[in-house]
Amino acid sequence: MSRVEGYAMTGMSDRAFDVVTGAFSYSGAAIARELLAAGKRVRTLTGHPGRAPAESPIEVRGLTFDDPAQLTESLRGADTLYNTYWVRFARGAVDHEVAVANSRALFDAAHRAGVRRIVHVSITHPSVDSPYSYFRGKALVEQALAEVGVSYAIVRPAVLFGDEGVLLNNIAWLLRHVPVFAIGGTGRYRLRPIHVRDLARLCLDVGASSQMTTTDAVGPDRPTFAELVDAIKNAVGSRSVVVRVPAPAIYPLATVLGFLVRDTILTRDEYQAMADGLADTDGPTTGPTSLNDWLTDHAETLGRRYANDVNRHFR
C-alpha cells in the first residue's frame, strides 16, 4: 500500500491541508517536500514569511505566538501539524524558556483549531532533570504536548545529515580549510545520525496513525565522534591533522572560530551533551540511509561552502 493510499484510508484526505512549522528551513522543508510529493496541500507557519520563494506551492502564514487568535485561525481546518519549531541556542530575547512557552502556545492553538494530530520533532534523551537547557526544554515541550488533549506522535532525532544540513557540512568545511582539527576529550562518544529525508518520511508515517507514540529517529550507523571526523576527512581528501585536546579547550576554540565566521559553531552544552552520550541511543534503526554511503556519494560537494546557522535563523 502506498503512503498516499494509507492517508486516504486513515481519513487524512477529508481535511484540506497539513501545517508544517518552518517549511523553508531544514527538517521542516524535508517534511513539506514529502507532503507535497504525497499530493497534500501544505501551509507553513514561519517566523520569516518574507523568505518564502515566489513560486512556492506552500501557503505562508506567520508564526504569531503573541497573537493566539491569529495563530488559531492559521491552524483551523488543518489535519496534521508537523512541528519543527525550536531554537538551538539563546539569542537576544529568545532562549529555551521562551521556546517552551511558544511551543505551548502553538499546541494550545492547535487544540482550539481542532487539529486532528500533532507530530512533534524533539531530541533523543530529553529530561526535565537535564543539566542542559536544550534537553530540559525539549522535555518540557513534550510534557506540554501530552497535556494539550490532541492526538500526537513524537520523533526524537539525535543528529541530522543530508540536504542543507549544518553539522557534517561544517565539519567538512573546517577539514578543508584548517590545518589542525581539534576533537575534545577521547572522541569515543557515539552518535546515531539520521538522514533528514528519512526523518521526514518517519514523521509522515506516524502522522498517518492515531496511536500515541514516541520514536527515536536514528539511522543504521553508530560511529564515535572521532570515527565520524575520520570518515569525513577521508571522504573529502583533507590533509588536516586531527588532534585530541582537553575537553575544556573545545568551547574556547569553537568560540574563536565562530567569531571568524560570524556564527555559533558549537555551544558549551552541545559539546558536553554529546560527550555525555546524549546523541546516541540503543533504539532500533528507523531510517535506512547509511551515513557512510552518503559521505561517499557526496564527497565532492560536502563542505565546499560554509553553512552559517546564525544567518539562516536570525539575520
Beta partners for residue 193, in sequence order:
159
State the pLDDT at residue 39: 96
Helix (H), strand (E) at residue 59: strand 59-62
pLDDT class of 55 with cuts at 50, 70, 90: confident
Q: Is the pLDDT of residue 31 over 90?
A: yes
State the pLDDT at residue 153: 98
CA angle 90/91/96 to nearest 5° reads 25
Are both 206 and 290 inside the same structural domain? Answer: no
| Structural domains counted in the chain | 2
Are both 114 and 184 inside the same structural domain? Answer: no
Are both 34 and 148 inside the same structural domain? Answer: yes
Are both 125 and 209 inside the same structural domain? Answer: yes
Are both 137 and 268 inside the same structural domain? Answer: no
Are both 237 and 90 inside the same structural domain? Answer: no
Are both 119 and 234 inside the same structural domain? Answer: no
State the pLDDT at residue 6: 37
Are both 202 and 175 inside the same structural domain? Answer: no
Identify the domain containing residue 291 by its residue range.
167-190+221-313
SS3 17: strand
Are both 90 and 25 inside the same structural domain? Answer: yes
State the pLDDT at residue 90: 80
The C-alpha cell of 264 is what?
Answer: 555559533
Average pLDDT in the 53-68 region?
93
Cα–Cα distance between 3 and 205 in angstroms, integer? 8
CB 285 within 8 A of CB 219: yes
Average pLDDT in the 19-37 region?
96
| Residue 100: other Cβ atoms inside 10 A | 21
Are both 104 and 56 inside the same structural domain? Answer: yes
| pLDDT tens for each residue of 113-137 | 999 999 999 999 999 999 999 999 9
Are both 105 and 175 inside the same structural domain? Answer: no
Cα–Cα distance between 148 and 15 in angstroms, integer? 21
Q: Percent of the chain at pLDDT above 90?
A: 86
CATH code (residue 135): 3.40.50.720
State the pLDDT at residue 3: 35
CATH code (residue 292): 3.90.25
pLDDT class of 2 with cuts at 50, 70, 90: very low
| pLDDT tens for each residue of 71-110 | 999 999 999 999 999 999 888 788 999 999 999 999 999 9
Q: CB under 8 Å, gap of 24 or more: what pairs does 32-38 form?
A: 32/58, 33/197, 33/200, 34/197, 34/200, 34/201, 34/203, 34/204, 35/82, 35/204, 38/3, 38/4, 38/7, 38/204
Are both 265 and 296 inside the same structural domain? Answer: yes
